[in-house]
């Protein structure tokens, strides 16, 4: 074909129906300027000329050059695409044309062995060079039969260890009356068996943006009008810069715990659309309260090590809970460790400020510290504290000071019957691990083994409760995702009715994410963590301590915003150790300690519902 006469769009060939073809032929003089098909065909001819001049360059790059489109993607994002093995890139489809060229181009840069699973309409374009497998997204019986070939080719290609990319929606993003948002329709489930059979790694790709308002309105009238207007949107994208965001790879094994294909695709769609909210480096603006918490008054000087050593050596033998290498874990009351408590307060403030919390004072100590036990880990070689926990025994505090003697009473209002039903219990709080030890799994493990041994010494205390903090440094969406999941999967409605937050969190907005898909597809806290890590700086997920509590079968009772702690979000947790598995208890109490604890509660355990 002569490139100067080539057409990618000819109205008379858009339908096999003779009447429709006749109508389109007659209406061509109206439709061409409206749909800008002339400019589309001119761009196509330019593409063919570029292909003729230098066929070594990829079709996708020539297509972008013909349109004058460039795309922006970070090297870090490109590095997320595995350089070998079966890989399947799944992307949202906001433009219906340019995004396909960009997807093909960027995949070619990393994986020259790649193919696109594309709309069969693209088979009309010459010079694709066998770069695509085709499916028909329109759902007719003929389309279903024809799609078998494209899906079979995809399965074979991935099994051979190659790379694929596609738009699982099958159609371009469009406006929906119900949500009043421009978004992809549900993603096709028929890709899930291919992913699971081939073990392909999934890489989410997100394109910010959308087509014009005219395009969206046309689609509301009839989907076919939306299809007709795609060429217009393609040429309207000329000279545009397109942004691309790539998420972290997802192993096929990670998807095996879902109940059905719909849940898998909903989750992958969430992992893609969450990238809309990815953290962008920018200057941070603090309110006066936030500035106080992040900087605040100067931190006091550390306590002299010799004073700390002297206090430790003076403790009762029973204060030593366990030893591990150079580390020793102790529990003592405030009046036995005045200097250690001052150092704990100093390290608390340093640690909490580093994550956007803190009191803004020289050290983080309050009136409750005097009445609580303090569990801490001591490094006997470095003469320093590794971390600490604050433990409040209700049977010691309530008879003297009542509910107001509990720190949690400053965050939540409790019905007296709830506290009475838990007593004796241990309130946990103010936990920290200093920055030097935070990346060492042993650190938190030592604190929890210390708690386990403390419970062995106080076996009547089978309930643990207290606030777990979610820093205000987390994005609003991240906090809402955590709260939404916890309310759905970990909240006890009966117990929650007996607690009221003093400053309740009200926002449940999930932004552009579909709430129904979230509830349907997010099965555990690790799914939530994976979503959050896509948008948070340093790719942090759900706080480690919250995940630790959930592993102990924690129940959530309420959520509170703490204005005295830089508006951090506190979730009130309750753990009944009698409901915790023996295997988990042995991890923290030791085999002998766990058996003694179970024996102590044998009668009550047998009567638990």
- What integer pLDDT is reported at residue 335 of this predicted model? 96
Q: Residue 461: give its domain's CATH number.
A: 3.40.630.30
Structure tokens belonging to residue 313: 């050596």
The single residue listed with the structure tokens 């019986």 is 141
Per-residue pLDDT tens over the stretch 575-593: 999 999 999 999 999 999 9
- pLDDT of residue 307 exceeding 90, the answer is yes
Q: Are residues 161 and 304 in the same domain?
A: no
- pLDDT of residue 8 exceeding 60, the answer is no
Q: Are residues 318 and 221 in the same domain?
A: no
Per-residue pLDDT tens over the stretch 453-470: 999 999 999 999 999 999
In a domain, 412, yes or no: yes
Structure tokens belonging to residue 380: 């006997």
**Of 243, 277, 311, which residue is a domain's last?**
277
How would you classify the pairing of strands 163-166 and 114-119?
A: parallel
- What integer pLDDT is reported at residue 286 of this predicted model? 33
| Bond preceding residue 266 cis, omega within 30 of 0 | no
How would you classify the pairing of strands 463-470 and 499-501?
A: unpaired
Q: CB neighbours (10 Å) of residue 401?
A: 13
Q: Are residues 377 and 259 in the same domain?
A: no
Mean pLDDT for 260-277 is 94
Report which of 89, 104, 97, 99 is spatially closest to residue 57, judged by C-alpha positions.
Answer: 104
pLDDT higher at 607 or 272: 272
8 Å CB contact between 130 and 123: no
- pLDDT of residue 191 exceeding 50, the answer is yes
**Of 246, 277, 308, which residue is a domain's last?**
277
Structure tokens belonging to residue 9: 């769009």
The single residue listed with the structure tokens 């309530």 is 398
Residues 6+ apart with CB under 8 A from 286: 294
The sign of the dihedral angle between the CA atoms of 592, 597, 600, 605 is: negative
Q: Tell me how far CA of residue 142 lies from CA of 122, 135, 170, 224, 338, in angstroms.
A: 17, 11, 16, 18, 81
Q: Residue 121: give its domain's CATH number.
A: 3.40.1130
Q: Are residues 236 and 346 in the same domain?
A: no
Residue 176: phi, psi to the nearest 5? -115, 135
In a domain, 514, yes or no: no
Mean pLDDT for 504-532 is 85
How does the average pLDDT of the chain come out, rounded? Answer: 88
Q: Are residues 457 and 589 in the same domain?
A: yes
Percentage of the chain surpassing pLDDT 70? 87
Q: Are residues 161 and 107 in the same domain?
A: yes
Which ranges in 230-260 belong to alpha helices (H)?
230-236
Per-residue pLDDT tens over the stretch 76-124: 999 999 999 999 999 999 998 899 999 999 999 999 999 999 876 665 5
- What integer pLDDT is reported at residue 367 of this predicted model? 96
DSSP letter at 133 equals: E
In a domain, 532, yes or no: no
- What integer pLDDT is reported at residue 285 of this predicted model? 36
Among the ranges given (282-286, 381-385, 437-441, 478-482), the one the predictor scored with the smallest mean pLDDT: 282-286
Phi and psi based region of residue 209 (left: phi greater than 0; alpha: psi -120 to 50; beta: remaining):
left
- What integer pLDDT is reported at residue 587 of this predicted model? 95
DSSP letter at 69 equals: -
Mean pLDDT for 421-447 is 93
Order of strands across the sheet that contains 163-166: 132-135, 114-119, 163-166, 87-91, 201-206, 245-246
Work out the burial of residue 538: count CB atoms within 10 Å of its CB; fewer than 13 is exposed, 13-18 middle, 19 or more buried: exposed
Structure tokens belonging to residue 126: 């010459």
How would you classify the pairing of strands 174-176 and 114-119?
A: unpaired
Q: What is the pTM of this model?
A: 0.84
Cα–Cα dist 350/354, whole Å: 6
**Of 262, 277, 292, which residue is a domain's last?**
277
Residue 309's H or E segment, with its range, is helix 305-314
Mean pLDDT for 338-342 is 98
Per-residue pLDDT tens over the stretch 386-416: 999 999 999 999 999 999 999 999 999 999 8
The single residue listed with the structure tokens 């497998």 is 133
Among the ranges given (274-283, 378-387, 539-548), the one the predictor scored with the smallest mean pLDDT: 274-283
Q: Are residues 341 and 479 in the same domain?
A: yes
Mean pLDDT for 362-377 is 97
- pLDDT of residue 134 exceeding 90, the answer is no
Q: Are residues 245 and 332 in the same domain?
A: no
Q: Are residues 151 and 256 in the same domain?
A: yes
In a domain, 285, yes or no: no
- What integer pLDDT is reported at residue 71 of this predicted model? 94
283 pLDDT band (50/70/90 cuts)?
A: very low
In a domain, 56, yes or no: yes
- pLDDT of residue 346 exceeding 60, the answer is yes
What is the extent of the structural domain holding 206? 3-277
pLDDT higher at 64 or 42: 64
- pLDDT of residue 9 exceeding 60, the answer is no
Distance of alpha carbon 554 from the chain centroid: 21
The sign of the dihedral angle between the CA atoms of 358, 360, 362, 363 is: negative
In a domain, 507, yes or no: no
Q: Are residues 156 and 30 in the same domain?
A: yes
In a domain, 465, yes or no: yes
Residue 223's H or E segment, with its range, is helix 223-228
Phi and psi based region of residue 561 (left: phi greater than 0; alpha: psi -120 to 50; beta: remaining):
beta
Phi and psi based region of residue 560 (left: phi greater than 0; alpha: psi -120 to 50; beta: remaining):
beta
Q: Are residues 19 and 54 in the same domain?
A: yes
Mean pLDDT for 475-503 is 93
Cα–Cα dist 356/349, whole Å: 11
The domain tally of the chain equals 2
8 Å CB contact between 88 and 201: yes
The sign of the dihedral angle between the CA atoms of 247, 253, 257, 260 is: positive
The single residue listed with the structure tokens 């909903």 is 266
Q: Are residues 167 and 211 in the same domain?
A: yes
One-character DSSP codes across 335-355:
GG-HHHHHHHHHHHHHHHHTT
- pLDDT of residue 270 exceeding 80, the answer is yes
In a domain, 536, yes or no: no
Cα–Cα dist 158/169, whole Å: 20
């Amino acid at each position: 074909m002569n490139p100067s006469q080539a057409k990618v769009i000819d109205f008379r060939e858009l339908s096999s129906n003779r009447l429709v073809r006749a109508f389109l032929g007659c209406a061509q003089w109206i439709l061409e300027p409206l749909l800008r098909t002339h400019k589309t065909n001119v761009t196509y001819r330019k593409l063919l000329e570029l292909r003729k001049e230098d066929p070594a360059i990829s079709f996708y790059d020539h297509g972008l050059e013909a349109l004058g489109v460039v795309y922006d993607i970070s090297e870090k994002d490109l590095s997320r695409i595995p350089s070998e093995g079966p890989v399947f890139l799944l992307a949202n489809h906001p433009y219906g044309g340019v995004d396909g060229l960009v997807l093909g181009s960027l995949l070619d840069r990393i994986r020259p062995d790649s193919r696109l699973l594309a709309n069969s309409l693209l088979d009309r374009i010459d010079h694709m060079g066998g770069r695509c497998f085709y499916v028909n997204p329109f759902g007719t019986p003929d389309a279903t039969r024809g799609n078998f070939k494209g899906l079979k080719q995809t399965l074979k290609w991935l099994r051979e260890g190659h790379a694929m990319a596609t738009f699982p929606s099958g159609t371009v993003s469009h406006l929906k009356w119900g949500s009043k948002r421009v978004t992809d329709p549900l993603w096709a489930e028929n890709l899930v068996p291919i992913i699971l059979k081939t073990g392909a790694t999934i890489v989410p790709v997100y394109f910010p943006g959308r087509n014009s308002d005219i395009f969206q309105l046309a689609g509301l009238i009839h989907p076919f009008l939306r299809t007709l207007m795609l060429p217009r949107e393609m040429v309207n994208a000329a000279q545009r810069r397109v942004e691309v965001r790539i998420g972290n790879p997802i192993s096929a094994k990670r998807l095996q715990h879902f109940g059905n294909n719909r849940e898998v695709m909903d989750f992958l769609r969430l992992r893609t659309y969450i990238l809309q909210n990815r953290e962008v480096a920018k200057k941070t603006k603090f309110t006066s309260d936030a500035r106080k918490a992040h900087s605040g008054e100067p931190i006091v000087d550390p306590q002299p090590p010799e004073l700390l050593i002297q206090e430790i050596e003076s403790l009762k033998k029973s204060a030593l809970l366990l030893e591990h290498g150079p580390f020793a874990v102790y529990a003592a009351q405030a009046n036995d460790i005045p200097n250690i408590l001052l150092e704990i307060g100093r390290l608390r403030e340093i640690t909490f400020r580093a994550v956007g919390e803190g009191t803004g004072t020289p050290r983080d100590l309050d009136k409750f510290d005097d009445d609580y036990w303090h569990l801490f880990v001591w490094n006997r070689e470095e003469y320093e504290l590794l971390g600490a926990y604050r433990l409040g025994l209700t049977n010691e505090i309530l008879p003297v000071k009542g509910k107001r003697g509990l720190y949690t009473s400053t965050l939540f209002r409790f019905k007296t019957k709830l506290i009475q039903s838990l007593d004796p219990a241990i309130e946990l709080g103010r936990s920290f691990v200093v920055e030097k030890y935070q990346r060492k799994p042993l650190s938190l493990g030592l604190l929890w083994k210390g708690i386990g041994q403390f419970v062995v010494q106080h076996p009547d205390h089978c309930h643990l409760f207290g606030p777990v903090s979610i820093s205000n440094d987390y994005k609003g969406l991240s906090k809402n995702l955590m709260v939404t999941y916890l309310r759905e999967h970990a909240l006890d409605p009966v117990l929650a009715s007996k607690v009221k937050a003093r400053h309740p969190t009200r926002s449940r907005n999930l932004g552009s994410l579909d709430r129904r898909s979230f509830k349907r597809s997010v099965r555990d806290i690790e799914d939530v963590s994976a979503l959050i890590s896509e948008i948070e700086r340093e790719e942090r997920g759900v706080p480690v301590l919250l995940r630790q509590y959930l592993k102990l079968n924690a129940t959530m009772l309420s959520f509170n915003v703490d204005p005295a702690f830089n508006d951090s979000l506190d979730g009130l947790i309750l753990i009944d150790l009698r409901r915790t598995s023996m295997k988990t208890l042995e991890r923290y109490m030791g085999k002998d300690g766990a058996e003694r604890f179970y024996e102590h509660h044998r009668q009550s355990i047998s009567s638990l519902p």
